[in-house]
Amino acid sequence: MENTDLLVDWSRAQFALTALYHWLFVPLTLGLTFIVAIMETIYVKTGDIWWKKTTQFWMTLLAINFAIGLATGIIMEFEFGTNWSNYSWIVGDIFGAPLAIEGLMAFFMESTFFAVMFFGWDKVSKKMHLLSTWLVAIGSNLSALWILVANGWMQHPVGMQFNPDTARNEMVNFWDVFFNPSAVSKFLHTVTSGYVLASLFVIGISAWYLLKKREMRFAKRSMIVAASFGLITSFFLLTTGDESAFEVAQNQPMKLAAMEGLYKGKTRAGIVAIGLLDQEKSVGDTKEPFTFKLEIPNALSFLGYHSLQAFVPGIEDLVFGNKKHGIMSVKEKMKEGKIAVNALASYKQYQKEENSQKAKEALSTFRKHERYLGYGYLKSPLDAVPNVALTFYSFHVMVGLGTWFLLLFILVLYFAMINEIEKRRWVLYAALWTIPLAYVAQEAGWIVAEAGRQPWAIQDLLPVGMAASNVASTSVQITFWLFAVLFTGLLIAEIKIMLTQIKNGPEEH
DSSP string, 3-33: HHHHHHHHHHHHHHHHHHHHHHHHHHHHHHH
- The SS3 call for residue 390 is helix
Tell me, yes or no, whether 136 lies in a domain: yes
Can you give the pLDDT at residue 508?
Answer: 54
Mean pLDDT of 279-294: 91
The residue segments making up the domain with residue 486 are 2-252+386-502
| Nearest one of 139, 109, 114, 106 to 60, comparing CA atoms | 114
The mean-pLDDT minimum among 119-123, 130-134, 383-387 falls in 119-123
Mean pLDDT of 142-168: 89
Number of domains in the chain: 1
pLDDT > 70: what percent of the chain? 99
Can you give the pLDDT at residue 1?
Answer: 44
Contact between 194 and 145 (Cβ < 8 Å) = no
Helix 388-417 with 216-251: angle, nearest 10 deg: 150
- As a three-state string, the secondary structure of 99-162 is HHHHHHHHHHHHHHHHHHHHHCCCCCCHHHHHHHHHHHHHHHHHHHHHHHHHHHHHHCCCCEEE
Can you give the pLDDT at residue 509?
Answer: 47
Contact between 301 and 268 (Cβ < 8 Å) = yes
The mean-pLDDT minimum among 147-156, 224-233, 310-319 falls in 147-156
- What is the Cα–Cα distance from 330 to 75, expressed in whole angstroms? 36
Whether the predicted pLDDT of 126 surpasses 70:
yes
- What is the Cα–Cα distance from 365 to 373, expressed in whole angstroms? 12
pLDDT > 90: what percent of the chain? 68
Contact between 258 and 450 (Cβ < 8 Å) = no
183: amino acid identity, one letter: A
Tell me, yes or no, whether 327 lies in a domain: no
- What is the Cα–Cα distance from 122 to 139, expressed in whole angstroms? 23
With a CB cutoff of 8 Å and minimum separation 6, the contacts of 66 are: 25, 29, 114
Whether the predicted pLDDT of 505 surpasses 90:
no
Whether the predicted pLDDT of 286 surpasses 70:
yes
Question: Given pLDDT bands bounded at 50, 70 and 90, which one contains residue 319?
Answer: very high
- What is the Cα–Cα distance from 381 to 320, expressed in whole angstroms? 8
Contacts 24+ apart (CB under 8 A), 468-472: 468/7, 468/8, 468/11, 468/83, 468/84, 468/86, 468/87, 469/11, 469/82, 469/83, 469/84, 469/85, 469/86, 470/85, 470/86, 471/7, 471/82, 471/83, 472/7
Tell me, yes or no, whether 357 lies in a domain: no
- Tens of pLDDT, residues 331-348: 999 999 999 999 999 999
Tell me, yes or no, whether 374 lies in a domain: no
Question: Given pLDDT bands bounded at 50, 70 and 90, which one contains residue 433?
Answer: very high
- What is the Cα–Cα distance from 129 to 52, expressed in whole angstroms? 12
Whether the predicted pLDDT of 143 surpasses 90:
no
What average pLDDT does the structure give for the chain? 91
Using alpha carbons only, give the angle 88, 91, 92 rounded to the nearest 5 degrees. Answer: 55
- Residue 226 CB burial class (10 angstroms; 0-12, 13-18, ≥19): buried
Question: Given pLDDT bands bounded at 50, 70 and 90, which one contains residue 255?
Answer: very high
Mean pLDDT of 150-158: 91
With a CB cutoff of 8 Å and minimum separation 6, the contacts of 113 are: 132, 133, 135, 136, 139
Tell me, yes or no, whether 452 lies in a domain: yes
Q: What is the distance in angstroms between the CA of the first residue and the CA of the last residue of the chain?
A: 58
Tell me, yes or no, whether 398 lies in a domain: yes
Can you give the pLDDT at residue 312?
Answer: 95
Number of H helices, E strands in the chain: 17, 8
Tell me, yes or no, whether 464 lies in a domain: yes
Higher pLDDT among residues 497 and 78, named by residue: 497
Tell me, yes or no, whether 160 lies in a domain: yes
